[in-house]
């Protein structure tokens, strides 16, 4: 027999033995699951998912298998609820069991191992951190203190649109909205405007946000097929994630050093990062946080910017309104 045939036969036997061992180890502790459509080995019910009409496909399956249906998505069990009564039972009476979000490679890395509030698993830390954010970061007094900054940023935007309209220049609504969003988030969270730091600093900040947005939209094969995680390394996704994380961490280190400096500008007093530093240095705090926790919470503010950018134009239908697409390129004075 040839060597390639022996290698292939050995691999087949090895896979069979591993699958048999795994089946034996889980057979004794396998829990009863709700009824659902049968799936393919390893892939599960991937073929049942139709992204264009997912709700219709799931509704048709629920008519056959019931309001509580189980499916398998590439090895991960999924429960589909299709009635208000069952949803109330799951989300109200068993809320704690469904409170945590799944952990993914990209979100876990960029949030310093899920140290933010959005992706942190439900735990004592999450409860205390959420309480501190509500009671100390986003109080009514704190929100009102940002009002002058909000009014100033909106006034700057209106002034810029007026200038372009008087000059008969087209107004890029998308860019204008992004600039307003970035300026507000930077002033509230970091106490500074990056467009006042010079062109290179603004380009660096925008480039970092675009880089993080692209990373957050990437699908890592290892999240769904753990044994195929090497494909992410081979395709360069892992290295791009590591580079993006290092760039993000470097920016946060610089911002923290600026806030710790005794010669920092007055605009940094009372911003979100300043309050987080105060929480870190407060020995009476209900939960002790380190610098990674501070950086993880800041990621939530950066995510709001790129989430806004990605969803802004999705509010407008792309079909049936050609006049809207045409108006995007018109000067402001023509509307």
72: left (phi over 0), alpha (psi -120 to 50) or beta: beta
Sorted by where each begins, the domain ranges of the chain are 32-98, 124-334
Tens-digit pLDDT profile for residues 187-224: 888 888 766 655 677 777 778 878 888 888 888 888 87
DSSP 281: T
Across the chain, what does the average pLDDT equal? Answer: 78
pLDDT of 239 > 90? The answer is yes
As a whole number of angstroms, the distance between CA 79 and CA 320 comes to 36
This prediction's pTM: 0.67
Residue 177 host element (H or E): helix 173-190
Residue range 300-321, pLDDT digits in tens: 776 665 554 444 444 444 444 4
d(CA 129, CA 125): 6
pLDDT mean over 284-290: 80
Residues 133/276, Cβ–Cβ less than 8 Å: no
Q: Classify 33 as helix, strand or coil.
A: coil
180, 182, 142, 188: which is closest to 161 by C-alpha? 180
CA neighbours closer than 13 Å in the CB half-sphere of residue 322: 0
17-26, 45-54, 61-70, 174-183: least confident range: 17-26
Handedness of CA 288, 291, 297, 301 (dihedral sign): positive
What superfamily does domain 124-334 belong to in CATH? Answer: Cytochrome P450 (1.10.630.10)
């Amino acid at each position: 027999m040839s060597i390639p045939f022996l290698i292939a036969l050995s691999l087949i036997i090895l896979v069979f033995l591993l699958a048999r061992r795994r089946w034996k180890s889980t057979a004794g502790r396998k829990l009863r699951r709700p009824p659902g459509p049968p799936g393919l080995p390893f892939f599960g019910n991937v073929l049942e998912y139709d992204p264009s009409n997912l709700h219709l496909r799931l509704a048709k399956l629920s008519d056959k298998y019931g309001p509580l249906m189980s499916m398998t998505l590439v090895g991960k069990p999924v429960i589909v609820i299709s009635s208000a009564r069952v949803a109330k039972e799951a989300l109200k009476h068993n809320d704690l069991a469904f409170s945590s979000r799944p952990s993914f490679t990209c979100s876990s890395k960029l949030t310093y191992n899920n140290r933010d509030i959005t992706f942190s698993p439900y735990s004592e830390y999450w409860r205390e951190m959420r309480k501190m954010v509500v009671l100390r970061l986003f109080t009514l007094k704190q929100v009102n203190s940002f009002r002058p900054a909000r009014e100033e940023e909106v006034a700057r935007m209106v002034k810029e649109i007026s200038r372009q309209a008087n000059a008969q220049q087209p107004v890029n609504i998308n860019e204008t909205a992004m600039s307003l969003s970035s300026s507000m988030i930077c002033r509230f969270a970091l106490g500074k405007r990056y467009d006042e730091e010079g062109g290179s600093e603004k380009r660096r900040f925008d480039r970092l946000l675009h880089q993080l947005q692209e990373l957050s939209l990437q699908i890592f094969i290892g999240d769904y097929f753990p044994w195929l995680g090497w494909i992410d390394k081979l395709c360069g996704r892992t290295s791009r994630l590591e580079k993006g994380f290092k760039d993000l961490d470097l920016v946060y280190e610089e911002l923290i050093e600026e806030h710790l400096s005794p010669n920092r500008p007055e605009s940094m007093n009372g911003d979100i990062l300043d309050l987080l530093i105060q929480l870190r240095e407060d020995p009476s705090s209900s939960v002790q946080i380190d610098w990674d926790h501070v950086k993880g919470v800041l990621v939530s503010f950066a995510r709001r910017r790129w989430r806004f950018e990605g969803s802004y134009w999705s509010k407008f239908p792309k079909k049936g309104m050609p006049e809207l697409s045409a108006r995007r390129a018109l000067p402001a004075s023509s509307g």
